[in-house]
Amino acid sequence: MKSARTEKTLSEAIAQRRATPSFDGAPIPAEDLRQILQAGLAAPSSYNLQPWRFVVVQNEEQKKRLRGAAYNQGKVEEASAVIVACGDADGWRKDLDLMLHRGLEGGMPPGYADQARDSVTNYLTSFSSDEMHGWLNKQVMIAFTQMMLTAETMGYDTAPMEGFEQERVHEVLRLPLSYWVVALLAVGHLKGPEKFDGGRFEMGHTVFGEEFGKPLK
């Protein structure tokens, strides 16, 4: 069992984070894993519907099976834990009452709750399957990013992954049909050399001010 080595500030974690190429496989203490997951669960989501679902894979055999569903990427098996980040397309149907109940307990105005019930239902029932997947991707990736950066602040190394086969991950994890697998987050400790730093485009390449094409002053 290997705890995190160093605490980093958020800006240090953002500056120093790399997509980790290889992990040493030492298990993560359960309380550290819970802290990482808790950071994801604290994320914002549309109407606070929290449609994310996470499956944490730590068992050696299960990691091996998951690797097979992820184009044989070695880090899936080497990581201490792989957090499989999913969205549940039916989550809002099941959780709307709970979300409103919690909201009302926390001071949500009752008029807002009545309005939210209608607008959530109208909005989400209008979605095609592709639109629902796009909506889930948005929500789940915020929680995913909060977990990734929290793990990094705790001194862990991480690797985000989209290289997997949706249906095969479903089979390995025995996921309900309404689940949509968004991304895998490998967490652990780097083994061997760090990946090269590919750098980033300068701000003028990707950021505009006021309208497309105008530089930010």
Q: Which residues bind ligand FMN (CB under 6 A)?
A: 18-19, 73, 160-163, 183, 195, 198
Q: What minimum distance in Å lies between the beta carbon of 20 and ligand FMN?
A: 8
The residue type at 90: D
Give CA angle at 5 (80, 163), nearest 5°: 35
Residue with CB nearest ligand FMN? 163
Count of other CB atoms within 10 angstroms of residue 169: 21
Task: Look up residue 95 and give its two tokens.
Answer: 């959780």
Q: What minimum distance in Å lies between the beta carbon of 51 and ligand FMN?
A: 18
Q: What minimum distance in Å lies between the beta carbon of 195 and ligand FMN?
A: 5
C-alpha 57, offset from chain centre: 14
Is the dihedral angle over the CA atoms 97, 103, 106, 110 positive or is it negative? negative
Q: What minimum distance in Å lies between the beta carbon of 167 and ligand FMN?
A: 17
Q: What minimum distance in Å lies between the beta carbon of 157 and ligand FMN?
A: 10
Count of other CB atoms within 10 angstroms of residue 210: 9
Question: Phi and psi dihedrals of 109, rounded to 5?
Answer: -65, 135
Q: Can you tell me the distance from the alpha carbon of 46 to that of 120, in angstroms, rounded to the nearest whole number? A: 9
> Which of the 8 DSSP states describes residue 47?
G
Of 107 and 199, nearer to ligand FMN (C-beta) is 199
Of 155 and 160, nearer to ligand FMN (C-beta) is 160
Q: What minimum distance in Å lies between the beta carbon of 151 and ligand FMN?
A: 13
Q: Can you tell me the distance from the alpha carbon of 149 to that of 106, in angstroms, rounded to the nearest whole number? A: 28
Of 116 and 184, nearer to ligand FMN (C-beta) is 184
Place of tokens 């909060």: 146
Of 58 and 137, nearer to ligand FMN (C-beta) is 137
Of 22 and 50, nearer to ligand FMN (C-beta) is 22
Of 22 and 45, nearer to ligand FMN (C-beta) is 22
